[in-house]
């Protein structure tokens, strides 16, 4: 790791993350990118 830069960590999504995820997905610039039709992976 480079000195002075914060470490990045990934974790699984939890139910507690859903409000933040919803807020992000409803922002106009994000909705434009991802579209409005939900899809299943």
Instruction: Say how far apart CA 37 and CA 31 lie, in whole Å.
Output: 10
How wide is the angle at C-alpha 15 spanned by C-alphas 31 and 19, nearest 5°? 40
Q: How far is CA 2 from the centre of its chain?
A: 25
pLDDT in tens, 8-35: 999 999 999 999 999 999 999 998 888 7
Between CA 23 and CA 11 the distance in angstroms is 19
Q: Is the pLDDT of residue 5 over 80?
A: yes
Give DSSP secondary structure letters for 21-34. HHHHHTSHHHHHHH
Tell me, what's the pLDDT at 35?
A: 75
Is residue 7 within 8 Å of residue 1, measured between CB atoms?
yes
């Amino acid at each position: 790791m480079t000195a002075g830069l914060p470490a990045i960590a990934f974790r699984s999504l939890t139910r507690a993350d859903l409000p933040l995820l919803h807020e992000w997905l409803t922002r106009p610039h994000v909705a434009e990118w991802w579209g409005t039709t939900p899809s299943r992976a």
